Amino acid sequence: MHHPLSLVKNVISVSSGKGGVGKSTIAFHLAHTLIDDHSLRVGLLDADIHGPSLPTLMGLMEKPQIVENKIVPLLKDGLKAMSMGFLVDPQSALIWRGLMVQKAIKQLLFDVEWGNLDVLVIDMPPGTGDIPLTINQLVPLSGGIVVSTSDPLSLVDGVKGVAMLKKMGIPFWGFIENMAHLVCPQCETHISLSHDSLVEKEAVRVGDAFLGSIPFDQGLRFGGAMMASSKDAFKDIVRKVIPLLKQG
Ligand X SMILES: Nc1ncnc2c1ncn2[C@@H]1O[C@H](COP(=O)(O)OP(=O)(O)OP(=O)(O)O)[C@@H](O)[C@H]1O
Residues that bind Mg ion (CB under 5 A): 23-24, 53
Determine how β-strand 117-123 pairs with β-strand 42-46. Answer: parallel
20, 148 Cβ separation under 8 angstroms: no
Residue spans of beta strands (DSSP E) within 77-126: 79-83, 117-123
Q: Out of 19, 59, 115, 171, which residue is the one contacting ligand X (CB under 6 A)? A: 19
With binding defined as CB under 6 A, does residue 226 bind ligand X? no
Query: Residue 218 to residues 222, 225, 227: CA-CA distances in angstroms?
Result: 9, 8, 9
Q: Check binding of 220 to ligand X (CB under 6 A).
A: yes
Cβ-count burial of 72 within 10 angstroms (0-12 exposed, 13-18 middle, 19+ buried)?
middle
Stretch binding ligand X (CB under 6 A), from 71-79, 106-114, 201-209, 215-223: 215-223
For ligand X, give the closer residue by CB, 19 or 140: 19
Q: Identify the helix (H) or strand (E) that includes residue 35.
A: helix 23-38
Binding partner at 220 among Mg ion, ligand X, none, C-beta below 5 to 8 Å by kind: ligand X
| Residue 215 Cβ vs ligand X, minimum distance, rounded to whole Å | 6
Q: Is 216 in the site for ligand X (CB under 6 A)?
A: yes
Cα(4)–Cα(19) distance, integer angstroms = 30
Q: Which x/- pattern, by CB under 6 A, does the window 26-55 give for ligand X?
A: ----------------------x--x-x--
- With CB under 6 A as the contact rule, the residue among 5, 9, 12, 25 that binds ligand X is 25
- Decide if residue 178 touches ligand X (CB under 6 A): yes
In angstroms, what is the minimal distance from the CB of 145 to ligand X? 12
**Minimum distance from residue 167 beta carbon to ligand X (Å):** 20
Are residues 161 and 146 in contact, defined by beta-carbon separation less than 8 angstroms? yes
The region, left, alpha or beta by phi > 0 then psi within -120 to 50, assigned to residue 219 is: alpha
Interface pattern 119-138 for ligand X (x via CB under 6 A): ------xx------------
78 binds ligand X (CB under 6 A): no
Contact (Cβ atoms closer than 8 angstroms) between residue 191 and residue 156: no
> Under the criterion CB under 6 A, does residue 148 sit at the interface with ligand X?
no
CB within 8 Å of 95: residues ≥ 6 apart: none
Per-residue CA distances from 83 to 67, 102, 109, 168, 182 (Å): 17, 14, 10, 24, 31
Query: By CB under 6 A, how many residues form the interface with ligand X?
Result: 21
Amino acid identity of residue 206, one-letter, is: V
Site residues (CB under 6 A) for ligand X? 16, 19-25, 48, 51, 53, 125-126, 178-179, 214, 216-218, 220-221
